Amino acid sequence: MLKKIVTIIIVAVLFSLIACRKAEEYVPELKNYLVIVNTLSETVSFYDLDKDTLYEDLITTGRTPNDLLILGTTGIIVNSGFQGIPALDVIDLSQMKILSRKPLPTGSNPYSIAYMNGNFYVTLAANNMVYVLNQNFLPIDSFTVGKWPEGITAFNGKILVASTGFNIQDYTYGDGYLYVVTKTKAGFSKDSVKVGKNPQIVKIRDNKIWVCCTGDYAGNTGALYIINPSTLAIEDSIKVNFYPSDFEVFSNGTVLFTDFMNGIFRIRNNSLIDTVMIVYGASRIIKDGNTGLVSVFNASDSNYIFFVDPDSNIVYDPINAGLAKGVGPIGIFRE
């Protein structure tokens, strides 16, 4: 009898130990993820940078995802809504789950999103305006900004908007402007500065405003503009003989930019341009420390995320992000 009891106790202890080990395995680990928005498959994949593992298609987005903003553990995807309804997808990145989908005006073609002082600002390109949403993503205000606004960011209590001048009727590009918008008691005050053709992206780097003008895809190639945020004076402009779709600024002023048809390029000393890699589909760039991460889109073959060292100009450790995914916006999520 005693033997039996001892055996049962031993077995029970072993089981509980196993159970403890199992439980330990479910203790949440610190996350170090690359968040990948697949614009064609309309899904979000997560790449564990520590485990070198891709978790494919964990979330399905709305229709035509175009931008990703990460705020703490929340990811917000802007769905432009072609073939459907425009919407924001609000994602809990730590749980890798979609929390809610917030509709935006039908046919407004939302493009990009920024966050400032508790409010979200979304460019509605087809409506030539910016929607202001509160923490619950309910619209509380709006303001117009030129024609067909796309890129948007916030800096020093101001909203910066890249207005492309795009005309949907004839697919031409008018003058491009950077708008600087400040909320006042009376409404919104706006300043603007004229930049090159088709300004699609605006970023703040080293306390300067950087505007990426893509060009009109019809002979007028693009340029990067560096603008003083206080005076709105254009301090420098870097002409590139390409149609840049995204850029990032690294230490020593080295710039990486992508051209969808031609590849990844580097600018040093604000003028010298050399080729990092000739590749079709180079689209978005983000910065992780002093490393550039580039998403490489493909509609029929493998998609990749490339890691680029801007100093050595070396591309290393590409991540295969899946077949025909159409990788687009990417972001880093760390706990």
Partner 1 sequence: MELFLLLFVSFLPFFEIKDTIYSYAYLDNLLSNFRAPYNYSIKSLAFYSTPIYSNLLVFKGYNIYSPSLGGTLPEENLVLFDGIPLINPMLGYQELSLIPANLIGIAEVLHSSSPISGLTGIGGVINLIPLKNPLEVKVSNLRKELKLGIGPFKDLSLTVFHETFTDSFPIEYENVTLWVKNTHDKKTGFLAKFSQGTVLVIKRKAGAPGPLGSLSTGERDELSAGSNFNFSLKKCNLQLSSNYTLQTYTSSGTSDIHKTLFLRGVIKGKEVETGANLYGANSTKIGNHIIPEIFGILGIKRMLTQKTELTATINLIYNPTFKTLFPNPSISLTNNLKFDLFSFLTVSLNHRNPTLNELYWPEDNFARGNPELKPERSFNIDAGLRKVSPKSYLNLFVFFKKINNGILWVQEDKYVPKNFASLSHKGAGLEAVFKPRKDLIYAEFSLNLQDSRLKGTPFIYRPNLTLSSSLGMGPTKIELSYIGKRPERPNSTKMLPPVWMINLSMEKSFTLGGQNLAVRAGVENLLNKNYEIVRGYPLPGRELFFEISVNRRM
Binding site for partner 1 (CB under 8 A): 38, 40-43, 57, 60, 63-64, 80-87, 101, 103, 106-107, 109, 126, 168-171, 217, 260-261, 280-281, 299-300, 322-326
What's the 3-state SS for 300-320? CCEEEEEEEECCCCEEEEEEE
Q: Which residues pair with 308 in a beta bridge?
A: 292, 315
Q: Between 89 and 227, whose beta carbon lies closer to partner 1? A: 89
Q: Between 106 and 134, whose beta carbon lies closer to partner 1? A: 106
Shortest CB 287 distance to partner 1, Å: 25
Shortest CB 149 distance to partner 1, Å: 15
Q: Between 12 and 168, whose beta carbon lies closer to partner 1? A: 168
Shortest CB 166 distance to partner 1, Å: 11
Shortest CB 137 distance to partner 1, Å: 15
Q: Between 41 and 123, whose beta carbon lies closer to partner 1? A: 41
Shortest CB 298 distance to partner 1, Å: 9
Torsion of CA 186, 208, 74, 109, to 10 degrees: 60
Shortest CB 243 distance to partner 1, Å: 9
Contact, 125 vs 150, CB < 8 A?
yes
Q: Between 107 and 253, whose beta carbon lies closer to partner 1? A: 107
Q: Between 86 and 165, whose beta carbon lies closer to partner 1? A: 86
